[in-house]
């Protein structure tokens, strides 16, 4: 059936297509990640400021009986550090349409995330004081607890992307979702670096 001049005139009067909005998920993830990071870093700054004031007055920062060990925090940092390589492996594998290696990297990353949560929970148990025993301890539990929640959200994000990868929806140029998850994870690890140094190393 031939297209008439009238048909062409109708098409020219149609409204233009809406403009493309590329990388919406990536931009949204960046904004949400930045907000979460700012909350935690603000608490870390508050912790550091209070600690400096107390030490300047000649008092001891951590109350007597608080057993804040180096090992749990250090192992948490090492564990999250290893996960940076596995998350980068996920992104690279999916860009190369290699779902097998991507799913392996997803699994290893989730195991490392679970190991981090486990070692932080062990550190809480070893502290030997209750969460309300002092303002210092309350801040430590709040900061580390919020970061554990941040890691949990990252694990959920990665798990959703893993299911999408199984269905073949995250390969090649369509891997924006996993890039967004990787961005969130990298920022989460960087934030823990500040938490680890401020709480575990300087005490």
Is 2 a member of any domain? no
Is 125 a member of any domain? yes
Is 82 a member of any domain? yes
Radius of gyration of the chain (CA): 24
CATH of residue 70: 1.20.120.80
Residue range 18-51, pLDDT digits in tens: 665 667 888 899 999 999 999 999 999 999 999 9
Global pTM value: 0.85
| Residue 195 CB contacts under 8 Å (≥ 6 apart), including other chains | 40, 44, 143, 144, 147
CA neighbor of 37 nearest in space, from 198, 194, 202, 156: 194
Mean pLDDT, range 53-80, rounded to an integer: 91
Say which residue, 95 or 106, is predicted with more confidence: 106
Is 7 a member of any domain? no
Is 19 a member of any domain? no
pLDDT score of 155 more than 90: yes
Domain that holds residue 117: 30-201
Both tokens assigned to 39? 């909350």
What is the per-residue pLDDT for 41? 96
Q: Are 195 and 157 in contact (CB under 8 A)?
A: no
Is 12 a member of any domain? no
d(CA 130, CA 186): 31
């Amino acid at each position: 059936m031939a297209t008439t001049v009238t048909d062409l005139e109708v098409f020219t009067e149609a409204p233009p297509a809406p403009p493309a909005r590329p990388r919406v998920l990536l931009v949204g993830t960046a904004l949400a990640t930045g907000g979460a990071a700012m909350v935690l870093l603000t608490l870390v700054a508050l912790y550091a400021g209070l600690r400096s004031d107390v030490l300047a007055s000649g008092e001891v920062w951590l109350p007597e009986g608080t057993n804040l060990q180096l090992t749990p925090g250090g192992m948490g940092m090492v564990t999250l550090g290893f996960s940076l390589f596995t998350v980068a492996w996920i992104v690279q594998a999916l860009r190369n349409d290699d779902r097998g290696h991507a799913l392996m990297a997803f699994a290893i990353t989730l195991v490392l995330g679970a190991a981090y949560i486990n070692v932080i929970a062990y550190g809480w148990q070893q502290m030997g004081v209750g969460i309300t025993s002092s303002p210092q301890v309350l801040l430590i539990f709040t900061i580390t607890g919020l970061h554990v929640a941040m890691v949990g959200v990252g694990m959920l994000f990665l798990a959703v992307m893993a299911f999408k990868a199984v269905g073949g929806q995250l390969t090649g140029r369509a891997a924006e979702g996993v890039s967004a998850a990787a961005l969130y994870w990298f920022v989460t690890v960087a934030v823990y670096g500040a938490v680890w140094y401020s709480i575990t190393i300087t005490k």
